Structure 1
Amino acid sequence: MALIYLESKDNPKIKHLRGLIEQNTYRKKQGQTVLEGTHLCLAWLEQSRQITSIFTTEKAIEHEDFDKIAEQYKGTVFVIGESLYKELSTLGTSLACLAVVDIPSSSHALNFDADTLILESIQDPGNVGTLLRSAAAAGIKQIVSTKGSASLWSPRVLRAGMGAHFAVNTYENVELQDILQKFSIPVYVTSSHESESLYSKDLTQPSVWILGNEGQGVSDYALANAAAVSIPQPGGQESLNVAIAGSICFFEMVRQRI
């Protein structure tokens, strides 16, 4: 493991790292993203995936958690100052570790007979990452996001997903109209309008779940081409957070299948 010390924030390596952290268009152009924190880095390495480079600090490189990464990673580690790291980091409280990796391209065509989660214009990175984490835990292996959704492979979504990305196949910037009619399994949307209780549905067979924008919900097209389900709320709240609602749906599906 080679160590290279960088001091200037204008160093091309630092500029590249900053672009990957801050700009979705730059990530797409470069085909790379950034994993932040030792947990994500170790989860990535445990999947036998390659890390291009790692950025850390002198203090962090002495930590035992970093030793675990060094056992598997033999590439270059760029050591930067604490203040520069804090300026770059989106997490702030974890052990200093920013790993540049190539964004995986899905090697599988979309399976129209398999459990699928479709994110329709969900914009909050925390919600997107949480939904991926819950879906992966429930055994859903296909995640589709439409245009207008937060980038699935942004550092913030990756952080919220806690490694869920590495267990699923992801498909981004998909037009709902291009795929919805191709599914041969039930398609559900969460909605409080003209819907039936989630708990009245038979979810023992593969299903598609469409979850919509935090403020506006799912589109009219989704509502017209799916069965609307609601989650009973005896407490009378207007609505649930989309990540909470999705998680309830996924694990009702799991409950029925056990």
Structure 2
Amino acid sequence: MTETPISSRDNSLFKRLKKLSESARARRGAQMTLLDGEHLLAAYLDAGGQPHTLVSASSFDVGRFRALAGRCPHAKTIVLTDALFAELTPVATPTGVLSEAAWLMPPPINATPLVLVLEDIQDPGNLGSMLRTGAAAGATLAVLSKGCHDPWSPKALRGGQGAQFVLPLECGVDIPAWCALFEGQSLALALGEDRSVFARDLTGPLAIIVGNEGGGLSHKVRAAATATVQIPMPGKMESLNASVALAIAMFETVRQRSG
């Protein structure tokens, strides 16, 4: 295997990778993204994907890179100078490996519906963490409003740790309209409610709705939900992180369905 060295920002392949790292529009147009690190590449391969291009920083161990490339027989392999590689990576301390990969479209999951519905989640790390929680809890679908961050951005992928490869996604959704068509109960998580999520029967078809990190859920979405519920907090804090709140509700559903 021969790696192609690239040292110029004017290289057409580097320009393409740079657009994928920075632009949601470019990712949508190409249905492609960049996977940062060995773990995400392994998760992508385990889910049945094959990357188009493998990218190594010049300082990354050659033997490790070639071992990764051995699992990707059809991928083009390139080596970037450390400075160019740092322009593509989403983290301050680069992992040394990136993969240019097509979006995966997981098949529908045949199980009692458990849907996470996300309204205007704008922090990529939070979004990725929520998708990871949903996948871990056995969610059958993730529904994202138009105001959500791009789930295929490098930072959201790092937060998801492979969730996007196994959890079906619907993006750019009108959530009130979606709730009106959902054949099950939709529960909006919000503060200041008397009703506890722990008091609900969560064993049937269920959608759990979580809102923006700062503003919470919109009035339209709360009105469209079957009910608005809260997570009881006896301690002296006003709120929970949105991803934590989702995790509590998701795994309460797992507990009830496992009982």
Task: Please report the TM-score for the alignment, with normalisation by the length of structure 2.
Answer: 0.92
Give the RMSD, CA atoms, in angstroms. 1.9
In structure 2, the partner of 1:4 is 4
Instruction: State the one-letter code of the partner of 1:208.
Output: A
> Which one is further off, 111-120 or 225-234?
111-120
5+ residue gaps in structure 2?
A: none
Alpha-carbon distance in structure 2 between the residues aligned to 1:197 and 1:39: 37
Note if 1:168 corresponds to 2:204: no
Count of matched residue positions in the alignment of Structure 1 and Structure 2: 256
Deviation per CA, 1:148-178, whole angstroms, max 9, x where unpaired? 1001111110010011111110111111133
Alpha-carbon distance in structure 1 between the residues aligned to 2:111 and 2:255: 23
Alpha-carbon distance in structure 2 between the residues aligned to 1:168 and 1:87: 29
Please list every run of at least 4 consecutive aligned residues from structure 1 whose deviation after the TM superposition is greater than 4 angstroms: 105-108, 110-113
Aligned pairs (5 A) from 1:48-67: 48-64=48-64, 66-67=65-66
2:58 match: secondary structure? coil
Percent of aligned pairs sharing the same letter = 35
In structure 1, the partner of 2:21 is 21
Deviation per CA, 1:91-113, whole angstroms, max 9, x where unpaired? 243531111111234665x9996
1:78 match: secondary structure? strand
Deviation per CA, 1:211-243, whole angstroms, max 9, x where unpaired? 101111111122112211111111121111100
Aligned pairs (5 A) from 1:83-162: 83-105=83-105, 108=108, 114-162=113-161
Aligned pairs (5 A) from 1:224-243: 224-226=223-225, 227-243=227-243
> Which one is further off, 151-160 or 69-78?
69-78
> Which one is further off, 145-154 or 193-202?
193-202
Label 1:121 to 1:88 Cα distance change in 2 as closer, same or farther (>3 A). same
Note if 1:33 corresponds to 2:39: no
Task: Please report the TM-score for the alignment, with normalisation by the length of structure 1.
Answer: 0.93
In structure 2, the partner of 1:183 is 182
Task: Report if the CA contact (8 A) 2:112-2:204 is conserved.
Answer: no
